[in-house]
């Protein structure tokens, strides 16, 4: 057989790499995008954040719940009306809200709360639905 031109080898390598990525992505999807129920009267942002927190903890990934207000800059703590998760990624964090990574500036503002505070909010939500209520999406 003759020698293959370098272009054919590059195309073959690109196709093989593309195929490997397509086969791997569905397996990574449940890891990178934790499945969550849709927001409802009984499942709001603090419930979703708790589910995401537990998901990433099972994977050994550090995460911190964040409270803030996505509708304003520089909000005071008492103006916070939403909670999401900051997931460790090297020396940076990736904000996750409703099971998906977020890259807008608002998701990188807010106040870190403890896991116990998150559990308290979820428990209080079961009694009264005005603590960390879900944002209309």
Q: Using CB atoms within 10 A of its CB, is residue 49 exposed (0-12), middle (13-18) or buried (19+)?
A: buried
Say yes or no: 58 and 113 in one domain. yes
pLDDT tens, position by position, for the chain (137 residues)? Answer: 455 566 777 888 888 877 766 666 555 666 777 888 888 888 899 999 999 999 999 999 999 999 999 999 999 999 999 999 999 988 889 999 999 999 999 999 999 999 999 999 898 887 765 545 444 43
Say yes or no: 94 and 61 in one domain. yes
Residue 134 lies in a domain: no
Residue 136 lies in a domain: no
Number of domains the chain is built from: 2
Residue 133 lies in a domain: no
Say yes or no: 1 and 27 in one domain. yes
| C-beta contacts of 67-73 below 8 A and 24+ residues apart | 67/110, 67/111, 67/113, 67/132, 68/106, 68/107, 68/109, 68/110, 68/111, 69/110, 70/106, 70/107, 70/135, 73/106, 73/109
* Integer Cα distance of 85 and 47 in angstroms: 11
Range of the structural domain that residue 54 is part of: 34-127
Say yes or no: 5 and 61 in one domain. no
Answering whether pTM is above 0.85, one says no
Say yes or no: 61 and 94 in one domain. yes
Across the beta sheet with 63-68, the strand order is 100-102, 92-97, 82-89, 63-68, 111-112
Residue 43 lies in a domain: yes
Say yes or no: 69 and 91 in one domain. yes
Say yes or no: 85 and 48 in one domain. yes
Say yes or no: 110 and 52 in one domain. yes
């Amino acid at each position: 057989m003759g020698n293959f031109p370098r272009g054919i080898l590059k195309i073959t390598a690109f196709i093989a790499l593309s195929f490997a990525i397509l086969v791997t992505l569905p397996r990574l999807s449940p890891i990178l995008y934790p499945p969550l129920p849709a927001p409802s009267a009984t499942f709001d942002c603090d419930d979703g954040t708790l589910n995401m927190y537990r998901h990433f903890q099972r994977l050994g990934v550090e995460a911190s719940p964040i409270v803030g207000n996505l509708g304003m800059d520089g909000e005071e703590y008492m103006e916070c009306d939403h909670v999401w998760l900051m997931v460790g990624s090297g020396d940076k964090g990736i904000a996750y809200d409703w099971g998906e990574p977020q890259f807008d500036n608002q998701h990188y503002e807010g106040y870190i709360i403890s896991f116990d505070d998150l559990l308290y909010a979820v428990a209080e939500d079961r009694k009264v639905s005005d603590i960390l209520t879900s944002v209309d999406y």
